[in-house]
Homo-oligomer: A and B are copies of this chain.
């Protein structure tokens, strides 16, 4: 993890922090990583901010899970009420899960009219693949080069961004994400469609039948590929012509994040075959889902399937409250308008700083790609990491991502307001001014 804490930095921290970290190392599995050179510890959250023990507010431009706000009152009340009333499972009748399912499915075009719940995005991706494999009788999967789709054995086998230690499945092929900034072709959609077709050919050459193309419509793990909206149309045409299913991983772009539409795939005017959602669905309560067409479930419904916690009344209460917040406060519109302000600020910074190679994104998901200079486009991962850590010291939360680890990831909460955009942009300006002066001093 590029933006991770290393225990070599332990001596820089105060004793309380050192003790907490040592306790972590003594009880948690060694895979657990902390963010930042100076890890953060929060004691409460409220709206756009997390607060440390000294009461210092940190502007949250990173945690897309809590998209309707930290400790959102409507969600908290719904959970508190339900957990004191009833918490069971889907093998008993309960109208709340049906009310929610009907409201959720109303956000989807036909024929996406069936939902299956799970607890995490990983589980939902895993379930989507099980459904796709059972429907097609095939298991070849195509993903993007630096995709992340989850942590189960199967989800991790389609998550190359987890690194060399996690093997891709033998039935998995990757294609380059359509990041226009580093493309040499005019039409990224056609290039991607061609690559997908070649990957299908390669699967078949190895005796593996093509089952599914699995992608996040903004390729968020690859460093963000948002434009031009519509570039996925040639891909879905190839996928369907070759007999596969198109699985849209909406864990990142879903629930209004892109500002253009409730679901990321809608920006491209395509209709996927299976849609996976998670993270912000319950504002932090573990709930996720697969939505698909009844036809694609026919084969899978021969299997016994039950997930103890899936669709439990407490998680459903949280998800229903989130949906109400999104719809009644029109956070899609807020995301679009505040996102446009943010875009303007980022473009102004790009004009000022030669180290900002590219600004791309949509709604409230943005990538700032740092380079040695705008002409060579040589990635600058060190500067990216320094900027992220400097922003943390300025009490603003963001992180890094992308194939070259040189992109700053911005995913502020959907309740962001113009003054938060100013706070972020001013802080980034200060940070870059300082860091680029230091850089020039080094050269």
> Which residues on A are within 8 Å of B, measured CB to CB?
1, 17, 20-21, 23-24, 26-35, 39-45, 50, 63, 65-66, 70-71, 73, 75-76, 79-80, 83-95, 97-98, 101-102, 105, 113-116, 118-123, 126-127, 129-130, 151-154, 156, 161-163, 165-166, 278-279, 284-286, 290, 292, 294, 297-298, 300-309, 312, 314-315
Contact = CB atoms under 8 A, between A and B. Distances in A.
B93 A29 contact: no
B309 A284 contact: yes
A285 B298 contact: no
A304 to B, nearest CB: 5
Nearest to A51: B86
B303 A166 contact: yes
What does DSSP make chain A's interface, helix, strand, loop or mixed? Answer: mixed
A292 B27 CA distance: 10
Top 9 A-B pairs ranked by shortest CB distance?
A: A80-B80, A30-B301, A41-B93, A31-B305, A29-B116, A27-B101, A153-B154, A286-B309, A87-B284
A156 B113 CA distance: 25
B92 A83 contact: no
Given A153-B153, A305-B31, A309-B286, A84 B76 contact: yes
Contact of A27 (B43, B98, B314): B98
Given A114-B29, A152-B123, A304 B162 contact: yes
Contacts of A129: 153
Nearest to A165: B302
B92 A35 contact: yes
Among A93, A121, A284, the one with the most B-chain Cβ atoms within 10 Å of its Cβ is A93
A300 B31 CA distance: 7
Nearest to A299: B165
A315 to B, nearest CB: 7
A162 B308 contact: no
A158 to B, nearest CB: 11
B27 A114 contact: yes
A120 B308 contact: yes
A361 to B, nearest CB: 21
Contact of A92 (B28, B42, B120, B298): B42
